[in-house]
């Protein structure tokens, strides 16, 4: 295992002004073009996660058709435990959450860690909630093909519970949610 996976921190090295990441999934490649000027801290964290191999064997655990596809919880509970509290500061919202944009998930002020989502529709209402896009996928075809049958987590849907993913990792997901799609690896282009 890459030792950097077990060395989380809230300060990420500065990323290039623009870069692209290929998220190789079991359905095909999703290319994300990142512009640091949109959300510098988000761009820096995404670059770091791709660079150190964090996004290898990571599930799209929350896919809601017509809304978004979410990933970013590591499949190894030991790695999840380290990164769970690796919060980084918010970025101001400089671009709307339009279809195809990529943002980090947040649960309140300065609470972003490793979870990100791809907007499947125009979700402008997320702008006022602090979800700041840092990039855009080139083509939504693969993202729209991700398995969306589980939906939200219990009790609002039949999807995986984030706490259990963090505690049990991919063993839980593969046993109870066998139709989920995964990022096999992420490559900086």
Residue 10 counted as domain residue: no
- Supply angle C-alpha 68, 69, 72, rounded to 5: 130
Residue 8 counted as domain residue: no
Residue 1 counted as domain residue: no
* pLDDT single digits (tens) 83-113: 999 999 999 999 999 999 999 999 999 999 9
Residue 3 counted as domain residue: no
Give buried/exposed letters for 95-104 (b at 16+ CB in 10 A, else e): bebebbbbbb
More confident site: 96 or 6: 96
Is the pLDDT score of 32 beyond 80? yes
Distance CA 69, CA 128 (A): 20
* pLDDT single digits (tens) 114-153: 999 999 999 999 999 999 999 999 999 999 999 999 999 8
Q: Which domain holds residue 158?
A: 16-188
Which CATH number fits the domain that encloses residue 95? 2.40.100.10
What pTM did the predictor assign?
A: 0.96
Label residue 54 by pLDDT band (50, 70, 90).
Answer: very high
Number of domains in the chain: 1
């Amino acid at each position: 295992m890459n030792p950097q996976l077990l060395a989380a921190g809230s300060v990420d090295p500065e990323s290039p002004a623009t870069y692209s990441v290929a998220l190789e999934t079991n359905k095909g490649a999703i290319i994300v073009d990142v512009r640091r000027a949109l959300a510098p801290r988000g761009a820096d964290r995404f670059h770091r996660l791709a660079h150190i191999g964090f996004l290898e064997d990571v599930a799209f655990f929350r896919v809601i058709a017509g809304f978004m596809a979410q990933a970013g919880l590591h499949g190894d509970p030991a790695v999840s435990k380290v990164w769970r509290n690796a919060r980084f500061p918010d970025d101001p919202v400089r671009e709307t959450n339009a279809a195809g944009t990529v943002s980090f998930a947040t649960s309140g002020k300065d609470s972003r860690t490793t979870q990100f989502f791809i907007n499947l529709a125009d979700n402008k209402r997320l702008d006022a909630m602090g979800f700041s896009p840092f990039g855009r996928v080139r083509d939504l075809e693969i993202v729209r093909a991700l398995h969306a049958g589980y939906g939200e987590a219990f009790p609002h849907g039949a999807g995986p519970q984030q706490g259990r993913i963090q505690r049990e990792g991919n063993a839980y997901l593969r046993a109870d949610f066998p139709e989920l799609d995964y990022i096999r690896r992420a490559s900086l282009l």
